[in-house]
Amino acid sequence: MTIQPFTGVLTAIATPFSPDLAVDVPAFKNLLTLQRDAGLHGVVVCGTTGESPTLSSEEKKLLVSTALEFQTDHFRIYVGTGSNSTAETLESTRTFAKFEAHGQRVAGVMVVTPYYNKPTQTGLKEHFLTIAKAIPDVPVCLYNVPGRTGCVLKPKTLVTIAKEAKNIVALKEAAGDLRALTELNIALKQANLCDQVTLLSGDDATFAPALLCGAKGIISVSTHIVPSAMLAMWKAARDGDFKTLQHLYLSADPINTQLFCAPNPIPLKWALAHLGICKNVLRPPLTPLENEEIMLISQALTSVQAAGLKLLK
């Protein structure tokens, strides 16, 4: 049975680069294999963690095409298509909504709130509706990440947008603010939109409490490192096993916290390189992790292993 779009435990997947800054396709395939084999529900390609602002349109097509080789009914491929230009976002979204490779099409698109411009709530509404209505048959996940964009999608605005565009099926809430997530959940309930719009955590450090506040899954960075633990957290919450949920949450806290000791994906790239998955190469203006922060990540990896969590599995 095919899973519903944007549900469960998903990875905002990194883009490996070779030393000459080209996309490292073999390393990307290795990363996809690890995610699929861990039992996760899918990945989002070309998001923030994938360093999307530095990728050309042809590189994005290469990454999506490669990822679609791995798509199954239980492991779905989504693509980030948002930017701070409505016209650019529209073009990218239309391209990937109809993009096909290996007999597969993407399962949906994720569209971030426009960054830097700081649009009003009216601007956000018009931006998202323009995108969603252009691809009425493709699932859309909105992405609220105020720490990177400088603007916030408010509950009332989300409700208005979702009522007008039924293909808006999810919101990735990455403010790391449980009160904000709670207010979004309440607004969706009051508008009878919970069956249409799934709330997803976008903040690993607050994943477990987010599940208790209305999130139904996550688009995660930590799933690169401890995929089984993050999946087990989701299953524990689903099954009402709060003792297990608490144990896993506390055990995974060091990596869920320290993967963000510097801007994402800088710490992640170091950790993946340390574990032999890809090179520790980022595209400028990002630079490798500083020595004092390397100690934090190294200690976090040791801590989660000591707590019994498996790395990369």
- Distance (Å, rounded) from C-alpha 223 to C-alpha 204? 9
Per-residue pLDDT of the chain (313 residues), as tens digits, is 567 899 999 999 999 999 999 999 999 999 999 999 999 999 999 999 999 999 999 999 999 999 999 999 999 999 999 999 999 999 999 999 999 999 999 999 999 999 999 999 999 999 999 999 999 999 999 999 999 999 999 999 999 999 999 999 999 999 999 999 999 999 999 999 999 999 999 999 999 999 999 999 999 999 999 999 999 999 999 999 999 999 999 999 999 999 999 999 999 999 999 999 999 999 999 999 999 999 999 999 999 999 999 999 9
- Point out the residues that are catalytic: 143, 172
Looking at residue 2, its pLDDT comes to 61
Looking at residue 3, its pLDDT comes to 74
Between the alpha carbon of residue 93 and those of residues 52, 87, 112, 194, 237, the distances in Å are 14, 10, 12, 25, 33
Between the alpha carbon of residue 123 and those of residues 49, 130, 152, the distances in Å are 26, 11, 12
Where b means 16+ CB within 10 Å and e means fewer, 261-300 reads bbebbbbbbbbbbbeebbebbbeeebebbeeebbebbeeb
Residue 168 β-bridge partners: 140
The residue extents of the domains of the chain are 8-241
Looking at residue 4, its pLDDT comes to 86
Cβ atoms of 72 and 45 closer than 8 Å = no
The owner of tokens 């799933």 is 223
| H helices present in the chain, as ranges | 25-37, 57-68, 86-97, 121-134, 146-149, 155-164, 178-190, 207-212, 227-239, 242-258, 266-274, 291-306
Looking at residue 244, its pLDDT comes to 98
Smallest Cα–Cα separation from 108: which of 141, 59, 82? 141
Q: Give the dihedral of Cα atoms 154, 219, 98, 117; nearest 10 deg.
A: 40
Looking at residue 1, its pLDDT comes to 55
- Distance (Å, rounded) from C-alpha 155 to C-alpha 176? 15
State which fold the 8-241 domain adopts: TIM Barrel (3.20.20)
